[in-house]
A = this chain, B = another copy of it.
Amino acid sequence: MQLPEAKGKFIEAWGKLGSEWGINRTMAQVHALLLVSPNELTTEEIMEELKISRGNANMTLRDLISWGLVEKQHKAGERKEYFYADKDTWNIARQVAKERRKRELDPIIKILDELSKVEGESKDEAFITFNKSVTDINKLAKNVDKTLETMLKAEENWFWKSIFKMFK
């Protein structure tokens, strides 16, 4: 297999994986393209390579920036904006974990907290089951949340530092 074909396959696979995990396929593809590009790319180049429209490229890039996965770069004396992706896999994983925690985990915990407070007849099977499921899930979610917080904060934490080493 030659590089251009391999590049295409990587972009396609990354896009598919993204869409299976609730991330817009094009966003994942643009990210993949930037990951394998040694240099910053312009909107124009991204449009060209992935055959997407200007509007789509623009919105997707803003999204990637809001996820902290891509940064805008300016070049002296040029009007064009350049886009560059951090290529450190650990940073990428951290950033995704951080954002999903903020965007999805925290809100669901807020709801589960509310629902945990619901009171009912202690003989009522329906109430007992509801309560057990909700509080159990809430507990698990809070543990995941706390763990992520610790992990994300802490390269200084000896315990997680040693876990990280296993993954790097």
Q: Is there a chain B Cβ closer than 8 Å to A76's Cβ?
A: no
Contact with B along A108-129 (1 / 0, CB 8 A): 1001101101101000111111
Q: Is there a chain B Cβ closer than 8 Å to A9's Cβ?
A: yes
B108 touches A17 (CB 8 A): yes
| A interface, over-half SS | helix
Within the complex, which residue of B22, B88, B167 is in contact with A21, where a contact is CB–CB below 8 Å? B22
Within 8 A of B (CB), among A1-56: 1-3, 6-7, 9-10, 13, 17, 19-22, 35-39
Stretch of A57-65, A67-75, A136-144 on the interface side: A136-144
Q: List the B residue with the shortest CB-CB distance to A18.
A: B22
B17 touches A140 (CB 8 A): no
- A121 CB → nearest B CB, Å: 9
B130 touches A3 (CB 8 A): yes
Chain B residue contacts of A9, Cβ below 8 A: 111, 114-115
B167 touches A87 (CB 8 A): no
- Most chain B C-beta atoms within 10 Å of own C-beta, residue among A120, A136, A143: A136
Interface of A with B (CB < 8 Å)? 1-3, 6-7, 9-10, 13, 17, 19-22, 35-39, 87-90, 93, 103-104, 108, 111-112, 114-115, 117-118, 120, 124-130, 132-134, 136-137, 139-140, 143-144, 147, 166-167
A127 touches B3 (CB 8 A): yes
Sampled A-B contacts (17; CB under 8 Å): A3-B124, A3-B126, A6-B115, A6-B118, A9-B115, A17-B104, A19-B22, A20-B104, A35-B137, A36-B126, A36-B133, A36-B134, A38-B125, A87-B133, A89-B137, A140-B167, A143-B167
